[in-house]
Every structure is written in structure tokens, then in C-alpha cells.
Amino acid sequence: MKILLLGANGQLGAELNRQLPLIAETKAYTHSKLDITDTQAVIEAISSFEPNVIVNTAAYTAVDKAEEEKALAYAINSDAVAVLAQQAAKQGAWLIHYSTDYIFDGGKTTPYTEIDTPNPINVYGASKLAGEEFITTSNCNHLIFRTTWVIGKDGKNFAKTILRLATQQDSLSVISDQYGVPTSPSLITNVTIDAIKAIKKQRAWPSGAYNLVPLGISTWHEVAQTLITIAEENSVPLAISATDILAITTAEYLTPAKRPLNSRLETQKLSRQLSFHLPNWKDDFSAVAAEVIKEFK
């Protein structure tokens, strides 16, 4: 089996790049090596390597900037994905792609399922939804993993920002009315590998979208408090404690792009396919926090 990995220098891509070579021959491209908006270069990379699985982690993820850079967001999250889907269908390869809860408006009071009707409220979510739609109409074999609040040890993310501010400021305010869970690149990678192993054994999961998040429910405020508590327990020098973090509403923290208040995703469909049980978010996040705090000791 041969795997082509795109976006190998991102939060998720970096973790996949560490793990995928352990299960199959893997050719990984960072953005600097292959811009997925360069259609001809992408076609050549796929046709020359002839992968059995294309894993695409390349994405435009600057949610607020996307409101101003709509064309670029769509070029990366939609148009380039259409090319990948077309080439996967042509090559007879599986396409594994990653999407987001932001395809939903957050107005539902219970977790979203894979069959709920999308209704994005910002450009980023709309561009990701358009990419999903290109995949599903391409007739390629595909797995779309929808996830939330990705936080890992690589790149910039919420945890690193919170820790940096906690070492510099004596007060910190974090949103407490957006509900979801942080998801680690390690968990996403483990699920991806499980799916690829099934393909390798000719027991591929049914094509389609799968919600991929750990179990439980949280808020950004609780995630921040959990992180700071772990940092305190590990003697990270901080200017504030977990109890000093103030809870604020989304309405009090205005951003260019609207955010869904409900980012909860139902994972029963995924659980029926997995060979292992999904962890609770606190267990998943604690492992990430232990790695992230090393930068601040």
C-alpha cells in the first residue's frame, strides 16, 4: 500500500507524517513542497506516485481572515479538494479528508449527526462544506472526518496561546458559552490509521462523512482551566491560576467571523467502525497538555 500525505507540516499533518510511514510506504508533501492549489503539480504528484490512499490535511484554517480572503479560502478548501477527488476517482484511490463542525450553524440543542443539514455561518465553514460536496459528487471512495477544536503539540493553537498569556498577564477571559470538545491530532491520526488498515485488509468502511471527536462536553473556558491546572501541577511559572480565568460570552468577544455556539458532534457512526473505544476529552486533552507545557517550563 502507498499513501500520499498532503499538508505534512500542519498540526495534524505533522502527527500523521510521524505515524503513517509505520504502516505503509508514505510520500509526504508540506505546503512549500506542494501547493494544493497548483492543479498541474497535484495531478503530477498523484499520477507519478500512484497512491492507494490520499490523505489531505492541507486547509485554509484562519477563520477570521477567511471573511476577507474568501477567494483564497475557497481555492484551498474547495477548488483544490475537487481536483483531489477527481484524481482519486481516476486513480481508484481512497481520499481521506478532514472537515469541521463549522459546516453547521450551532443552533441545534443536541449533538450534530452526519445526516443533519449543514448551514455554515462563516466563510471558512462554507468553504469546507463546498469541499465536502465536491468529494461526495466525485464518485471516489472517500472518508470525510469532521472534527472540532483541534489542539496538538505542533504549530500554533489555543493551548499555546492560553499558556503564553497566562505567563504574561494577571487576568484572562475565555468564552464559556460555546460547547464542544478539544480533539488531539493523535486521536485523529489513530482513527485515520484504523481506517487505512481496514482498507488494506479489504474491509474498508463505507464511504461518507464521520464525526471524529472524543467523548464528553466542554467549553473553551473549561478547556483553559483544565490546561492551567495541569500546568500548575507541573510547576510551570504562571501569572494566574485556573480560578482566575474569567468566563465571558461570545457576545462579549466580537470576532469578524461568527462562531457556532454548539459544536457537539455525535460519534456513534464512527464508533461502529473503530477497533478501539474513543476516549473522554479530558484524557485525550491531558496527553496534549503534558506535551505543550514542556515549552513553558
Which residue out of 29, 60, 98, 124 is catalytically annotated? 124
Is 25 within the bounds of a domain?
Answer: yes
* Domains held by the chain: number: 1
Is 127 within the bounds of a domain?
Answer: yes
Q: What is the pLDDT of residues 128-177, one digit of tens each?
A: 999 999 999 999 999 999 999 999 999 889 999 999 999 999 889 999 99
Mean per-residue pLDDT over the chain, rounded: 97
Q: What is the CATH number of the domain that holds 272?
A: 3.40.50.720
Is 104 within the bounds of a domain?
Answer: yes
Is 168 within the bounds of a domain?
Answer: no
- Whole-Å CA distances, 125 to 64, 205, 220: 11, 25, 19
Q: What is the pLDDT of residues 201-259, one digit of tens each?
A: 999 999 999 999 999 999 999 999 999 999 999 999 999 999 999 999 999 999 999 99
Q: What is the pLDDT of residues 33-57, one digit of tens each?
A: 999 999 999 999 999 999 999 999 9
Is 50 within the bounds of a domain?
Answer: yes
Q: 3-class SS at 142?
A: strand
124 is catalytic: yes
pLDDT tops 90 at residue 296 = no
Is 98 within the bounds of a domain?
Answer: yes
- What count of other Cβ atoms lies within 10 Å of the Cβ of residue 50? 11
Place of cell 479528508: 97
Mean pLDDT of 182-195: 98
The domain in which residue 63 lies consists of 2-155+183-214+265-278
- H or E, element range at 294: none
- 101: cell is 463542525
